[in-house]
């Protein structure tokens, strides 16, 4: 996709292509240019084909991306104490680059990252909760 920064990395058109850690026929993994913590290692995994949202991916690309996530996670968990996998869809959820990408963020004691920042809410009633179960189940059929 023209003007997509991640497509440019895939095509080796910009400097960040040097930061590619892993590549296969369907996916690449490369360092995020602004890591979430100072020790670095924050890695992005993307399909080579340009899709905007996780729901846009073909099944084959989704499977390939998950295998690359697993491969990179094995490496990152050897030098970190833990790791978060995060994927943002649409601006309201924090998506700023419109090429679907998965963040692998190595975690360390006191690294200052606030991922667990939401407060735990409660459903107003059991029927509200069960209505939500049903709503999502109905949408799965589409």
41: left (phi over 0), alpha (psi -120 to 50) or beta: left
Which strands form 20-23's sheet, in the order they lie side by side? Answer: 20-23, 27-31, 43-47, 102-107, 82-86
Residues between 35 and 64 with contacts to Zn ion, criterion CB under 5 A: 50
107 binds Zn ion (CB under 5 A): no
Q: How far is the CB of 65 from ligand AMP (least distance, A)?
A: 14
Helix (H, G, I), strand (E, B) or coil at 2: coil
Is 101 known to be catalytic? Answer: yes
Rounded Cα gap, residues 33 and 96, in angstroms: 14
Residues between 34 and 73 with contacts to ligand AMP, criterion CB under 6 A: 34, 44
Q: Which stretch binds ligand AMP (CB under 6 A): 62-70, 88-96, 116-124, 128-136?
A: 88-96
Q: Which is nearer to Zn ion, 1 or 115 (CB)?
A: 1
Contact residues: ligand AMP, CB under 6 A = 5, 16, 32-34, 44, 88, 94-97
């Amino acid at each position: 996709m023209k003007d997509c920064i991640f497509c440019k990395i895939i095509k080796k058109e910009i400097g960040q292509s040097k930061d590619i850690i892993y590549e296969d026929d369907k996916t690449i993994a490369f360092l995020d240019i602004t890591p979430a913590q100072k020790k670095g290692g924050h890695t992005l995994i993307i399909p080579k084909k340009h899709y905007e949202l996780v729901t846009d991916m073909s099944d084959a690309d989704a499977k390939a991306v998950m295998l690359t996530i697993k491969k990179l996670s094995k490496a990152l968990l050897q030098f970190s104490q833990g790791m978060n996998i995060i994927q943002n869809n649409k601006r309201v959820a924090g998506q700023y680059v419109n090429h679907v990408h998965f963040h692998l963020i190595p975690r360390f004691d006191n690294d200052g990252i606030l991922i667990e920042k939401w407060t735990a809410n409660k459903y107003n009633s059991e029927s509200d909760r069960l209505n939500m179960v049903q709503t999502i189940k109905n949408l799965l059929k589409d």
